[in-house]
Amino acid sequence: MSLTLDRLPFDVLFAIASYVSLEDVIHLGLVCRQLRQLFLYENTLCRRTIENHARFTQEAQRAAQGQLSYREALRSVYSRRKAFASAKPNSACVIGYGSSFIYRQGVVCYMSQGLMLVRSLHGSTTHKAIDISSVRATLFGPGSPQADFQPEVSLLHYSDDFVSMHYDYTDYLDHSFLIVIDLLRWNPATAQGLIKRQLSSANKLFVRNTSAYLYYGTHTGTGTHGHHEWKIRGMRLREDHYMPPNIPALQLDEFVGSDVGSTVAFEIHNGFFYAVSNQTSFDVEEVDWTSFYHCIRFPLNNPVKEACEIKKDVYRRQHKEGPINDSWTDLSLQVDEATNSLRIIEARREWLDGGSKQLRTFYTHESVPLLPLLPLDDPLARTIGSGNNPHYAPERPRLYRHTHPEHSHSDNTRIFPEFILSKTKFKAYNHSCGAFLDLVEDANCCSGAGLGTPCLRLRIGSRRPEPVEPVPIEEKRKAKGKATTGCSSSSPENFMLHNPSNASPLPSASLDPRDRFMYSPIRLWPPPCAAPQLKAPDCASLLHRILNAPLPATTTSSKASAYAPPAATEIPRYGDGEGPICLVSFDAGINAEKLAGRMDRNGAEDMVFSGIMGQSPMRKDSAVSGCGESPPDGPVLVWKG
């Protein structure tokens, strides 16, 4: 009798689960009932899988604290990644109206009608409403006439129950204030839990913090070369943590770049402050070969130049690869969920090899220093003079595991719509999910439904590792039927094999199995209202109403004179510049029904979408919520309309 997989001893299966990916553990558990009981319900095996592949996720931290089992954590991590990669949100709603917002660590902070509202999406106790005027009263002494000045308030950052805001008084005074509020200790009567710092200049102001330290920076320093440089200042938020007293601001010398998120990125990780730039020179170099990342880090408890670790030779690209469309460049630092290492994630739109078409590619970089040397066989090397500052490193082959080309999602039979930059409102890349996300304004989405305005939609493309022996796509479609086309859903058989030999003009480093991927079609969500394949187009209509929620109610003020015809001006009733704040969640644990606000401020009914397309929409107070089965949980996207 042959030995089947479900008859193997537990120790053997445990060893197998220790060497396969997290996704493969889930897939093995779906093979049969016996393996399901072992791989998906055995807590010891689930714990080993989490520790091997997702040790540094929020789910792993909650499991270690006993807030959920490792079995639940394993399924949550898997479903989170799959939901995001497959563009299947679980819920969508309008959570309120505001003028600005920030979202981080599952908490949304937004300004609305003179209040700064803090709402947790996961049902914790982090729910606050802070009156902006009560904070303003603490900035000046009692009876000071300056207390009546109306500042321009903007949100900067949230992390670990601390909210940072900027109070701009430059219309009245020669300075402004950085305000930090400890949400757990805030008392408006005594101003307990409030920290303020006076700023002489707030140019490019940013904030990063942990529960113990806070750092803020401005682009206000001046180097010996005459160009502006970043100045970083820090403070401790807890008395039991050390920081040297009376230390001056740390100026990042020769650190080029001024746009956070495009040319520079800042982050705090594992007790260090990190700064990364994708620029190498303040001036254009006439003779140059190679572009590097400039990386700086220093410990949070010692922000001085002597403690800085500097790397200027982290390889980025060769200039001969082609020009870059800088308006599409995005730069960020993301934590690897398996190793806890900090990775550089950069999106670039390039004319590769001088071609006529721009191609967007997402690059993942690890901090691997090189020793730059000049190319001895290049004739340009002989033209270098004292006024040149060239950069060079030998060309490095790119591993496809570190390169995600957007054009690999299309082939000769499947070409997906692209959107110009002015129609792309938000761009991001999720390294753990292997997917990029764009928030686009699609004018052709519901043209057939007679809607005259463009629709906001999510545009997502993902990839996954190719199986060792993949089944041809044609055979899958013959066996299971042709996959549904369109934007509402996509089956696994829609993934397209990636051939490293011709998918990218970049040099191929190897044919390692880790460098072979299957690319999904690019999906747009929600589907058009007039999509004929939908069983419930009214559900799509509801989604479009949520994602394109109406603006706040307005009043009309008219003025006329003998020298001009009557003129009407719309005046917002609920604050200047306030708009709907929409929440799209891939997390089944987020209760959108409790978070949803009203679609308008004239008393219209609350509307919320929960689930995948397929059934009728339900009212917020309905006993059954959803439009079909619930997809796996995952990350959250928030934006202001």
CA pair distance 252, 215, nearest whole angstrom? 14
CA pair distance 462, 464, nearest whole angstrom? 7
Q: Is residue 59's pLDDT more than 50?
A: yes
**Per-residue H/E/C for 561-597:** ECCEEEEEEEEECCCCCCEEEEEEECCCCCCHHHHCC
Q: Would residue 434 count as lying in a domain?
A: no
Q: pTM of the predicted model, to two decimals?
A: 0.82
pLDDT score, position 355: 82
Q: Is 271 left (phi over 0), alpha (psi -120 to 50) or beta?
A: left
CA pair distance 535, 546, nearest whole angstrom? 19
Q: Is residue 609's pLDDT more than 80?
A: no
pLDDT score, position 586: 85
Q: Would residue 50 count as lying in a domain?
A: yes
Q: Is residue 497's pLDDT more than 60?
A: no
Q: Would residue 146 count as lying in a domain?
A: no
pLDDT score, position 636: 59
| pLDDT: which is higher, 625 or 506 | 506
Q: pLDDT tens for residues 155-172?
A: 999 999 999 999 999 888
Find the range with the poorest average confidence among 135-139, 400-404, 445-449. Answer: 445-449
| pLDDT: which is higher, 554 or 398 | 398
pLDDT score, position 507: 45
pLDDT score, position 161: 94
pLDDT score, position 495: 58
Sign, Cα dihedral of 232, 235, 236, 241: positive
Q: Would residue 578 count as lying in a domain?
A: no
In this structure, are residues 370 and 300 in contact, taking their beta carbons and an 8 Å threshold?
no
Give the pLDDT mean for 433-446.
91
Give the pLDDT mean for 350-377.
72
Residues 6+ apart with CB under 8 A from 48: 14, 17, 18
Find the range with the poorest average confidence among 323-327, 371-375, 396-400. Answer: 371-375
Q: Would residue 80 count as lying in a domain?
A: yes
Among all chains, which residue has been given the structure tokens 């989405």?
A: 445
Q: Is residue 409's pLDDT more than 70?
A: yes
Give the pLDDT mean for 223-233.
92
| DSSP classification of residue 468 | S
Task: Assign 362 a pLDDT band (cuts: 50, 70, 90).
Answer: very high
Q: How far is CA 22 from CA 25, 53, 183, 197, in A?
A: 5, 6, 37, 46
The range of the structural domain enclosing residue 75 comes to 5-85
Q: Would residue 75 count as lying in a domain?
A: yes
Among all chains, which residue has been given the structure tokens 């947790």?
A: 120
CA pair distance 441, 426, nearest whole angstrom? 10
Q: Is residue 9's pLDDT more than 90?
A: no
Sign, Cα dihedral of 24, 29, 31, 34: positive
Token pair for 38: 């072992």
Give the pLDDT mean for 560-584.
51
pLDDT score, position 413: 57
Give the pLDDT mean for 132-150.
83
In this structure, are residues 606 and 620 in contact, taking their beta carbons and an 8 Å threshold?
yes
Among all chains, which residue has been given the structure tokens 């997402």?
A: 362
Q: Is residue 477's pLDDT more than 60?
A: no
Q: Is residue 523's pLDDT more than 50?
A: yes
Task: Assign 565 a pLDDT band (cuts: 50, 70, 90).
Answer: very low
Give the pLDDT mean for 349-360.
88
| pLDDT: which is higher, 264 or 614 | 264
| pLDDT: which is higher, 366 or 399 | 399
Q: Is residue 603's pLDDT more than 60?
A: no
Domain count, the chain: 1
pLDDT score, position 199: 94
pLDDT score, position 146: 81
Q: Would residue 40 count as lying in a domain?
A: yes
What angle do helix axes 70-85 and 22-29 make, rounded to 10 degrees? Answer: 100
Which CATH number belongs to the domain containing residue 34 in this structure? 1.20.1280.50
CA pair distance 46, 40, nearest whole angstrom? 7
Residues 6+ apart with CB under 8 A from 321: 350, 352, 353, 506
Q: Would residue 353 count as lying in a domain?
A: no
